[in-house]
Amino acid sequence: METISAHQSVKEQYNILKKDGMSNTFDRAIAQGKRCSFCEQGISCQLCSNGPCRIKPSAERGVCGIDADGMAMRNFMFLNTMGTATYTFHAKTVAKTLKATALGKTPFQIKDEAKLLALAEKFGIKTDKSTKELAIAVADAMMAGINADSDDELSNVLAFAPKQRIEVWRKLGILPGGPLNEVMDAVSSTMTNMDGDYVSLAKKALRLGISCIYGSQIPLEMGQDILFGTPQPHAVNVDLGIIDPAYVNVVANGHEPFIGAALIKTAHEAANQEKAKKAGAKGLRIIGSIETGQELVQRYNIDDVFVGLTGNWLSIEPALATGGIDVFAMDMNCSPPDLGSYQEKYNTSIVSVSKLVNVPGMKDQIIYKPDQAAAQAQKLIDMGIENFKKRKGKATNPSSRKQNAIVGFSAEACISALGGTLEPLLDVIKKGTLKGVVALVSCSTLRDGGQDVNTLKIARELIKRDILVISAGCGNAALQVGGLTTLEAKAEAGPGLKAVCELLKIPPVLSFGTCTDTGRIALLVTAIAEALNVDTKDLPVAVTAPTYMEQKATIDGVFAVAFGLYTHVAPLPPVAGAPRLVKLLTQDIEGLTGGKFAVETDMVEAAKGIEAHIMKKRAALGLPA
Ligand code: SF4
Ligand code: SF4
């Protein structure tokens, strides 16, 4: 079994890390060896000083009295609160950036006025205002949604969610309030001796998922579209070969596009290019990494200055091993904590640009502030040029691997690629040329094999079965670098999907966006459900997270189940020691929301399960097999 990576570039860079004796994620994953079975099954707890407690035949409850199901669900709830809090932090930053931009205090502009108008209408804001006034009102409404009381129904849910869903959620008592207060309620519920009932905790998780998507994710992505443009299909370059050490290279890593967008703008200034050349470089380049890179490539064309995306989070250390990165700027989320040790070895400067992010030994912290973004980008570029002067002439390990990818299939772009209406897509689904659609929203993990091995495997299995894949998150980078988001990849699709690809001139995997895009995918699914006049749970669609890793992924998964979708996950989530909870999440919940989790670590079996679900939904709608 491949234990390092599906990507040749990463395997080659891994060999360099090995040769250099560098600590790296791949070796650390092996060093962890077999894991504790209590932790693996979710039945250990060290919340209070009575613990740590473990559930075993001789101790069926923790000291406080909590049982296995309550303990595992409470542990799972922690992950979901972290994910929601982090998405909400991001949403707050978008609202602040939008307001500051309207006031002329940032280097950004209102790029998509139509989306500003659409969001204002959804928020119930009168639109007889100037663009500036409207943007301020929308930013204030975003903040009001984030802060809305958890005792009230969140107006965003009522504005954006499908009507049938709202009724289902109201009946279940999971129609939530604003994400900040829902996080507060959820965290408080998970204290020792607070909520020990796994069913009650599971309902609170569903509530949190709905609040996260409608209160934070959807406004934040729409806000970013307003500021940086709504993604449209275009070709870009990906993989580690985009790093040319002869240039001053500044990398934007994380999940938020603000500093990255400011860097792209500032790096295009002739004076900065000149400065880089004076330092002995061929010029100055900006490079996208993980989700920040994904946000940027989805919205910006590549050129001589912005050159594309390296890959997902497991490609960070291999990218640094090229020795060609001058500044690695980390915004919120997904910067491994050992990067400080890479600075000396690979002649780079690790810099945090978020108050949330810190790695031991990093060179500097320049905390993003909307009204200082231009100066902050300039400072990072100057640091990059200074770094280049020091690393000039030193050995580098460039990669020769470059892959082209078509990106930018936002919901709007999908509809416009279909000629302005969903009809062509619905037609091919109704006829059975296309069996259905799967959203692949995933991280990347080494738990069940090398980087992206399983992600590529399940995507290939799905397209082979005439199922269109929409990709987001680190899973999206997996498929971009793996070559499945190209027009040529239609050769790997089944005959039906291949015909659709040829007809619409699209790849069999539509590169949609980041792990933050679950909300936008939900809007696309909502549009399909409304066009067919059915509930989301009745659609021949599903979700897969074949290599989920962290806490944002779990809340995305919980939302998908609340939304009524069959949601495949791997690796095994830490709930196996809680039989009643497992039954609730994988079986009984279907009777409540219409969705359920399907856990399967064999990707062929997982694809078969997804296909069977899609065929069941097709039959129920009276569509041909
Ligand atoms: S909260 Fe309960 S199960 Fe957890 S450590 Fe304390 S006593 Fe043990
Ligand atoms: S998909 Fe997961 S691992 Fe990847 S950047 Fe997002 S949160 Fe991090």
Residue by residue, DSSP assigns 79-113 as HHHHHHHHHHHHHHHHHHHHHHHHTT-SS-----H
- Does 571 have pLDDT greater than 80? yes
Q: Ligand 1 center to residue 68 CA distance, Å?
A: 11
Helix (H), strand (E) at residue 122: helix 113-122
Residue 483 has pLDDT above 90, yes or no: yes
Is this structure's pTM higher than 0.95? yes
Would you tell me how many other CB atoms lie within 10 Å of the CB of residue 15? 14
Pocket test for ligand 2, best of 333, 440, 479 (most atoms within 8 A of CB): 333
Centre of ligand 1 from the C-alpha of residue 230, in Å: 47
In CATH, which of 3.40.50.2030, 3.20.20.60, 3.20.20.120, 3.30.365.10 is domain 240-391? 3.40.50.2030
Of the listed ligands, the closest to the CA of 455 is 2
Going from the Cα of 136 to the center of ligand 2, the distance in angstroms, rounded, reads: 30
Q: Determine the pLDDT at residue 420.
A: 84
The C-alpha atoms of residue 83 and residue 473 are separated, in whole angstroms, by 14
- How many angstroms does the Cα of residue 50 sit away from the middle of ligand 2? 34
* Residue 137: φ, ψ to 5°: -65, -40
pLDDT of residue 415: 86
> Is the distance from CB of 414 to CB of 284 less than 8 angstroms?
no
Amino acid letter at 317?
E
- From the CA of 552, give the closest atom in ligand 2: 7
Residue 23 has pLDDT above 80, yes or no: yes
pLDDT higher than 90, residue 58: yes
How do 403-407 and 436-442 pair as beta strands? unpaired
Ligand closest to CA 473? 2
**Contact between residue 100 and residue 226 where contact means Cβ atoms under 8 Å apart:** no
The distance of Cα 443 from the centroid of its chain, to the nearest Å, equals: 7
Residue 591 has pLDDT above 80, yes or no: yes
State the span(s) of the chain assigned CATH 3.40.50.2030: 55-231+405-625, 240-391
Contact 322, 348 (CB under 8 A): no
DSSP type of residue 314: G
With 0-12 / 13-18 / 19 or more C-beta atoms within 10 angstroms meaning exposed / middle / buried, residue 57 is exposed
Distances (CA, A) of 302 to 6, 59, 296, 374: 25, 59, 10, 21
Tell me, in angstroms, the distance from the centre of ligand 2 to residue 544's CA: 14
Q: Within 13 Å of residue 269, how many CA atoms lie on the same side as its CB? A: 13
Please provide the DSSP assignment of 165-215 as one string. Answer: HHHHHHHHT-----HHHHHHHHHHHTSTTT---HHHHHHHHHHHHHHIIII
pLDDT at 417: 76
Question: Can you tell me the distance from the alpha carbon of 499 to that of 434, in angstroms, rounded to the nearest whole number?
Answer: 9
pLDDT tens profile 411-429: 888 888 777 888 988 999 9
Ligand nearest to the CA of 82: 2
The minimum-distance atom of ligand 2 relative to the CA of 551 is 7
Provide CB contacts within 8 A for 112, sequence distance 6+.
225, 226, 229, 230
- The pLDDT of residue 1 is 79
H/E/C letters for each residue in 469-505?
EEEEEHHHHHHHHCCCCCHHHHHHCCHHHHHHHHHHC
Separation CA 580–CA 13 (nearest Å) = 45
pLDDT reported for residue 210? 98
- Per residue in 363-376, pLDDT tens? 999 999 999 999 99
Residue 4, pLDDT score: 97
Q: Closest-lying ligand to the alpha carbon of 556?
A: 2
Q: How confident is the model at residue 606 (pLDDT cuts 50, 70, 90)?
A: very high
If DSSP codes are grouped into helix, strand and coil, which group holds residue 599? Answer: strand
Which residues, listed in sequence order, are joined to residue 542 by a DSSP beta bridge? 438, 566
- How many angstroms is it from 80 CA to the middle of ligand 1? 19
Measured from the Cα of 475, ligand 2's closest atom is 1
Ligand 2 centroid to 473 CA: how many Å?
6
Instruction: Give the model's pLDDT for residue 418.
Output: 78
**Ligand 1, atom 2: closest residue by C-alpha:** 64
pLDDT value, residue 117: 97
Confidence of residue 316 (pLDDT cuts 50, 70, 90): very high
Measuring CA to CA, how many Å separate 601 from each of 455, 491, 572? Answer: 11, 26, 7
Dihedral sign from CA coordinates of 167, 168, 170, 174:
negative
Residue 240, both tokens: 């580690």
Q: Where are the beta strands (DSSP E) in 42-92?
A: 44-45, 53-54
The whole-angstrom separation of Cα 221 and Cα 229 is 10
Whether the CB-CB separation of 222 and 607 falls below 8 Å is answered with no
Mutate to test the pocket of ligand 2, among 25, 220, 290, 471 (most ligand atoms within 8 A of CB): 290
Q: How confident is the model at residue 523 (pLDDT cuts 50, 70, 90)?
A: very high
Per-position DSSP letters for 245-312, written without gaps between them: TTSEEEEEEES--HHHHHHHHHHTSHHHHHHHHHTT-S-EEEEEEHHHHHHHHHHS---SSEEEE--S
Residues with CB under 6 A from ligand 2: 290-291, 312-313, 333-334, 443-444, 473-474, 515, 549-550, 552-553
Tens of pLDDT, residues 173-190? 999 999 999 999 999 999
Output the CA torsion sign for 340, 345, 346, 348: positive
- Of the candidates 392, 332, 328, 337, the residue with the CA atom closest to the CA atom of residue 357: 332
CA 479 to chain centre: 14
> How buried is 430 (Cβ within 10 angstroms: 0-12 exposed, 13-18 middle, 19+ buried)?
middle
What integer best gives the mean pLDDT of the chain?
A: 97
Span from the CA of 295 to the centroid of ligand 2 (angstroms): 13
Give residue 119 CA to ligand 1 midpoint distance, Å.
45
- C-alpha 359 – ligand 2 centre gap (Å): 17
Q: Which CATH architecture has domain 55-231+405-625?
A: 3-Layer(aba) Sandwich (3.40)
Please report the pLDDT score of residue 119 as a whole number: 97
Give φ, ψ of 497 to 5 degrees.
Answer: -65, -35
Residues 6+ apart with CB under 8 A from 450: 1, 2, 3, 4, 5, 6
Residues with CB under 6 A from ligand 1: 45-48, 50-51, 53, 62-64, 66, 192
Report which of 213, 219, 5 is spatially closest to residue 92, judged by C-alpha positions.
219
Question: What integer pLDDT is reported at residue 406 of this predicted model?
Answer: 97
Q: Is the pLDDT of residue 598 over 90?
A: yes
pLDDT at 281 over 80: yes
Q: How far apart are CA 288 and CA 236, in angstroms?
A: 11
Q: Tell me the pLDDT tens digit for each residue of 210-229.
A: 999 999 999 999 999 999 99
